[in-house]
Structure 1
């Protein structure tokens, strides 16, 4: 496999793992919910437009999603202290707890699929995870490098 194909395969496999975990766990929350909560956890409070850009959606679409998350008490919207015309979104403690619980569920659901891996395979995956984390760490807003 050539280098660009390796990266593409990793990305597609990551998406597939997310779908599989959600299906196997019976979790019907939209993936966008986890993406928004993750973005808020990584980058802190953000304006609606910045969140929409980072999540690769429209501002009206993000506003609708945030309305749902706010009704569930997972996020809180408040006026931007630097510009009262803008809104800043914060993850609530319940939002952070819900994200942490999903991540635990995600790990527990997927773990059996990897029970047969050798120590060498685990080392390879661990190294790949470190490399991917290093190359995406500064990308908390979802912008491409």
Structure 2
């Protein structure tokens, strides 16, 4: 039971500190871009093309909000609308290479903005952070794989 409580506490802290880190990174850059823009492109990168309603559901925004986001991204050329092979009347939204490049550039800007905050890390601390990222990424990939096969993760 003690181990479960510790895991529960650590996971809560991880989510909380991640939100704080994200807010800090965004504020340090001085960017006025909506985080929803980057989140939408990242969802499309990670999960692939999807219908507007599914994209809204996964992104946890209303369909009208996602319609506006997709319109903005389409105007920038950061997404593509492709015909849904299963229903020729419907469209899938896909990330465009230019949108993926913009997302990569944003990630680089965030990392550069945060570097001074973490500049004094010892080698073992940096290795610990890298290992933590690998662990979290691996677990998220398990969830993704289970979801794509219909299994419960």
TM-score (norm 1): 0.89
How many correspondences in the alignment?
Answer: 144
Specify the structure having the higher radius of gyration (Cα): 2
Matched ranges for 1:2-81 at <5 A: 2-81=6-85
Secondary structure (helix, strand or coil) at the match of 1:76 reads: strand
Can you give the 5+ residue segments of structure 1 that lack an aligned partner in the other structure? Answer: none
Question: Aligned partners of 1:99, 1:138: CA distance in 2, in Å?
Answer: 24
**Does the C-alpha gap of structure 1 residues 139 and 27 become closer, same or farther in structure 2, counting only changes over 3 Å?**
farther
TM-score (norm 2): 0.84
Match of 2:134 in 1: 130
Deviation at 1:78, TM superposition (A): 3.1
More helix by share: 2
CA RMSD, Structure 1 to Structure 2 (Å):
2.0
Can you give the 5+ residue segments of structure 2 that lack an aligned partner in the other structure? Answer: none
